[in-house]
Structure 1
Amino acid sequence: MIGITSKLAKFVAETKFTSLPAVAVGEAKKHILDCLGVTLAGSREEPSRIVADFVRESGGNPQASVLGTGFTTSASDAALANGTAAHVLDFDDVSWSLTGHPSASMLPAILAVAEQTGASGKDVLLAYVLALEVAGKLGAGTNPAHYELGWHATITLGSLGAAAAAAKLLDLDRDRTAIALGIGASEASGLRQNFGTMTKSLHAGMAARNGVMAAALARSGFTADRSILESRFGFFNVLCRGVYDEAKIVGHLGDPFDVLSPGVGFKQYPSCHGTHWALDAAIGLAWEHDIAPAQVQAIECIIPDLFAQMLIHSDPRSGLEGKFSMEFCMAVALLDRAAGLRQFSDARVQAPDVRELMKKVKVVIDRESSEAGRTSNFSHVTLRLNDGRTLARRVDVPKGMPECPLTMDEVVDKYRDCAGLVLARGDVERSIDMITGLDEQRDLSKLMNLMRAVD
């Protein structure tokens, strides 16, 4: 009887671009555009510069571009650097089936192998949809058990999605694709304790690099267990304590594709996605009622247990830690009526007005609702004012989620804001045309030339 690993490998090896619904291709373009924008913006951050310098000093054949840096390197190292840059701002998209960040961990692998091999835009789009399918279906069948053990699914499951995508671009057959998954499963790691540090963004880069390496080794004849997911000492038993649902993983592959249902969410704010419900609520209340921070006596934020597991820094000391602090996010939401790139800085986290307002924030965990899973995600923010008034708002679906998606125009605007930090205005517009017309591109050479043109 064919096992889960082989079923996934067969699906990846046999699926063709013509099998993709047009709407799936459209969604893929939107998310690729979004991810490339936040990667360019992230390339200027310190963690990205450190990794890029490491890669540059390591040398390597000039196979693929490191975005926003002006240099090329080996495909695996380019994937490492670009994946780190894609995730460093925590502005990249999110998947609640994966319980992690799909594009930042998988797209850099796809771009690197595609540039190395001269793959077409259609090849890239197909690999992208398949990467999300493998990682998303695995997430649906293993979470929350896998995530609750402390694994960062962005790298553990992202490595498998990236390996599948790279295998597709290298045109590996079912057997070799299963071996690539076997290698990728042994590369999978990443601990959530590193949230709020530079290493969290490195997880995405490592996932992308892992995928490139796994597929390349498999193509060269390297061996690995072909049933790595379901075997006695395989992924499910070791990293999920044996808790998984086979039907959710392989029962409906491509029917529908994960990129369509449950879909992938865009981020409005460069912070942990578990803060976005409350940020929508608090910023909305601040604008609607014209609240001055001095009016606020207390702030209560009720969240599900899953969000609490993500938000591990109640007393942040850096901008990175602030991304995982509900207390900080509520403070800047009321003080600045915004939560953009400039809010999540070391200086803003240490600002006296922020520190003072953070003391008034109380986070309450609604553990019962968390048992219902993803559909129970919400935040309820209550502001108690000095004049005795109480203002409250509950948000069940934040802007950007598949149920309340960003339009293509909104994604393009976000891309312009992010890419414009690095690229010249004309290059920003040219790159938008190339990405939105990706299925018509013979290869990625022109696009990558634009993307790496700044040093």
Structure 2
Amino acid sequence: MTIENKGAAGASEVAGLSQEVAQFVLATQSADLPDLAVANGKKSILDGLGLALSGSVAKSGELVRRHVADISTPTGAATVIGSDLKVPARFAAFCNGVGIHADDYDDTQLAVAKDRVYGLLTHPTAPALPAALAMGETLNASGADIMLAYHLGVEVECKIAEAINPRHYQEGFHATATCGTFAAASAAGRLMGLDLPTMKRALSIAGSQSAGLRENFGTMTKPFHAGRSSESGVVAAQFASYGWSAAGDILEAPRGFFKAAGGGYDATAIDGKLGAPWTFVEPGVSIKPHPSGSLTHPGMTKMRQLITENNITAKDVRRVRIGTNSNMPNALIHHQPQNELQAKFSMEFCMAILLLEGRAGLTEFTDEAVLRPDVRDMIAKVDFVVDDRAEAAGYHLMTTYIDIELTDGRTISGMADFGKGSPANPMSYAEVADKFLECAQFAQWDSGKANEVVAMVAELEKLPDIHGLMALLRL
């Protein structure tokens, strides 16, 4: 690496990976987005807006609005979705990030390398979209500019998550919290029109705010991670614009993000790979059909299919065996869940509720449902184990084997590598719209307003600004 010059705030500006990321964020134009990336991005944007609505009525939604009130936030220009609040951009990013991730129903990046845990890298929309919306609404940006900023944030977040050593996630960091901060800084910085030295400092400030531990999965602190990463990215871009000093090589430096948080990184996964291909094109982003950890979804998709094809009812079931690779129980850690948040990370609950109800949506993931006697009895019949066949398939797959032992002596079996909503079995825009409307209904949102949002997101790049869109998402 070579020292180029001194930035306006006095920090050394270094030519390297951080500069490459910053240049990508600032130089990319809307015309550079492939049509498939735009189409898939709109599905994730609509999905995120619906989740922010449903998340607004979660207990965490009430608490983040209390937080905003407690700090006596002055009136701002950015909407807290599902409320009547307009607050400064950083706080809207926080509230909406928490809301999108509150039900663990948001989209998921898919891994490429076989040593990385497929479906576990990061939730790309939860940090990137709230930052883009909050800054875009504040700055009166066009729909096209906001959509581009969102795409840039998602791309930076996903490529960083793909590059960092797998140890980062496996030993406890939550990539949505850590890598998501760079997404939000990229989206906000692009909309703010930062120059190259300032954008590099924004990334550096974001890196020093990057935090979040997986031990908190199954609690409100997991969605807190998403909200805080989105807010931190906005704050990073704002402080950089003030002239706040920071390092110029935060990603690749010996004491920078990749080394400190992961012990290193695979340069071939990010160097020259930003937008080549776009993550939304290859390998794709998965949209969830159920409000639970993404690793449950291949098994849940296959379980629903087996139930339907074989007319299985709960009373027919003697025992169920679910076999996966060893990294999946490392995330699905709640084998006897006691509340809805733990149930999202319980393979046993997800299978039990499907066998009992035939579905697993927002209304099934409640504390009351988790503690029902019939649910507890069915959970006890589910064995979640490591399967050598799934282990051999590689961690880049979510291979799940199911064996349902019935009371009549038959065993019904199936296997899946992917779930509904993955690029291998994608949702259409209409199907995502149905999910959005489910979320809106769950939040008791006006159906007319909800349908208008569906139509506006489909034409997002044509909107001169997003004030009308955000008004539909506000009380």
CA contact (8 A) 1:159 1:185 kept: yes
Deviation at 1:374, TM superposition (A): 4.8
Deviation at 1:373, TM superposition (A): 4.5
The one of 73, 76, 80 equivalent to 1:62 is: 76
Is 2:54 the counterpart of 1:33? Answer: no
| Secondary structure in 2 matching 1:85 | helix
Is 2:21 the counterpart of 1:8? Answer: yes
The correspondence of residues 266-285 of structure 1 with structure 2, limited to 5 A, is 266-285=287-306
* Equivalent position of 2:157 in the other structure: 135
Give the whole-Å Cα distance in 2 for the aligned partners of 1:63 and 1:370.
Answer: 50
Q: Return the letter of the residue paired with 1:437.
A: E
| Secondary structure in 2 matching 1:139 | helix
* Equivalent position of 2:65 in the other structure: 52
Is 2:272 the counterpart of 1:251? Answer: yes
Q: Could you list the per-position Cα deviations for residues 196-220 of structure 1 after superposition, in whole angstroms to 9, with x for gaps in the alignment?
A: 0011111110011011100011111
* Equivalent position of 1:86 in the other structure: 100
| 310-319 vs 361-370, greater mean Cα deviation | 361-370
Give the whole-Å Cα distance in 1 for the aligned partners of 2:129 and 2:165.
Answer: 22
CA contact (8 A) 1:108 1:208 kept: yes
| 280-289 vs 312-321, greater mean Cα deviation | 280-289
Deviation at 1:366, TM superposition (A): 3.3
Distance 1:42 1:162, change over 3 A: same
CA contact (8 A) 1:107 1:128 kept: yes
* Equivalent position of 1:100 in the other structure: 122
CA contact (8 A) 2:397 2:418 kept: no
Q: Could you list the per-position Cα deviations for residues 371-400 of structure 1 after superposition, in whole angstroms to 9, with x for gaps in the alignment?
A: 764543211110111221111010122110
* Equivalent position of 2:214 in the other structure: 192
The correspondence of residues 356-375 of structure 1 with structure 2, limited to 5 A, is 356-366=377-387, 369-370=390-391, 373-375=394-396
* Equivalent position of 1:145 in the other structure: 167
Deviation at 1:96, TM superposition (A): 2.0
| Secondary structure in 2 matching 1:317 | coil
Give the whole-Å Cα distance in 2 for the aligned partners of 1:143 and 1:200.
Answer: 21
Is 2:341 the counterpart of 1:320? Answer: yes
The one of 203, 222, 233 equivalent to 2:255 is: 233
* Equivalent position of 2:331 in the other structure: 310
The one of 379, 392, 402 equivalent to 1:381 is: 402
* Equivalent position of 1:24 in the other structure: 37
Distance 1:387 1:368, change over 3 A: closer
| 189-198 vs 96-105, greater mean Cα deviation | 96-105
* Equivalent position of 1:42 in the other structure: 55
Q: Return the letter of the residue paired with 2:258.
A: F
Q: Could you list the per-position Cα deviations for residues 81-131 of structure 1 after superposition, in whole angstroms to 9, with x for gaps in the alignment?
A: 111011101111111247121111210111000011111111111111111
| Secondary structure in 2 matching 1:259 | coil
CA contact (8 A) 1:109 1:166 kept: yes
Give the total of aligned pairs: 452
Deviation at 1:259, TM superposition (A): 1.4
CA contact (8 A) 1:370 1:377 kept: no
CA contact (8 A) 1:370 1:376 kept: no
* Equivalent position of 2:192 in the other structure: 170
Q: Return the letter of the residue paired with 1:290.
A: N
CA contact (8 A) 1:121 1:438 kept: yes
Deviation at 1:416, TM superposition (A): 1.5
Give the whole-Å Cα distance in 2 for the aligned partners of 1:174 and 1:223.
Answer: 14
Q: Could you list the per-position Cα deviations for residues 266-307 of structure 1 after superposition, in whole angstroms to 9, with x for gaps in the alignment?
A: 100000111111111222222221222222111100112222
Q: Sequence identity, in percent? A: 39
Is 2:98 the counterpart of 1:76? Answer: no
TM-score, normalised with respect to structure 1? 0.96
Distance 1:368 1:411, change over 3 A: same
Structure 1 runs of 4+ off > 4 angstroms? 367-374
Q: Could you list the per-position Cα deviations for residues 235-276 of structure 1 after superposition, in whole angstroms to 9, with x for gaps in the alignment?
A: 11110012x111111222211111111111110000011111
CA contact (8 A) 1:40 1:422 kept: no
Gaps of 5+ in 1: none
Deviation at 1:367, TM superposition (A): 6.1
| 150-159 vs 416-425, greater mean Cα deviation | 416-425
Q: Return the letter of the residue paired with 1:84.
A: V
Give the whole-Å Cα distance in 2 for the aligned partners of 1:181 and 1:148.
Answer: 24
Deviation at 1:56, TM superposition (A): 2.7
Deviation at 1:5, TM superposition (A): 0.9
Give the whole-Å Cα distance in 2 for the aligned partners of 1:435 and 1:293.
Answer: 40
Q: Could you list the per-position Cα deviations for residues 46-97 of structure 1 after superposition, in whole angstroms to 9, with x for gaps in the alignment?
A: 1111111211332234121101111111110111111101110111111124
Deviation at 1:369, TM superposition (A): 4.4
Q: CA RMSD in A?
A: 1.4
Distance 1:371 1:76, change over 3 A: farther
Q: Which has the higher helix share?
A: 1
Deviation at 1:346, TM superposition (A): 0.6
Q: Could you list the per-position Cα deviations for residues 221-241 of structure 1 after superposition, in whole angstroms to 9, with x for gaps in the alignment?
A: 111111111112111111001
| Secondary structure in 1 matching 2:108 | coil
| 154-163 vs 246-255, greater mean Cα deviation | 246-255
Give the whole-Å Cα distance in 2 for the aligned partners of 1:7 and 1:306.
Answer: 32
CA contact (8 A) 2:165 2:263 kept: no
Deviation at 1:143, TM superposition (A): 4.7
Gaps of 5+ in 2: 2-14, 112-119
| Secondary structure in 2 matching 1:299 | strand
| Secondary structure in 2 matching 1:354 | helix
The correspondence of residues 152-163 of structure 1 with structure 2, limited to 5 A, is 152-163=174-185
Deviation at 1:339, TM superposition (A): 0.9
| 166-175 vs 21-30, greater mean Cα deviation | 21-30
Give the whole-Å Cα distance in 2 for the aligned partners of 1:164 and 1:368.
Answer: 40
Q: Return the letter of the residue paired with 1:284.
A: Q
CA contact (8 A) 1:30 1:408 kept: yes
TM-score, normalised with respect to structure 2? 0.92
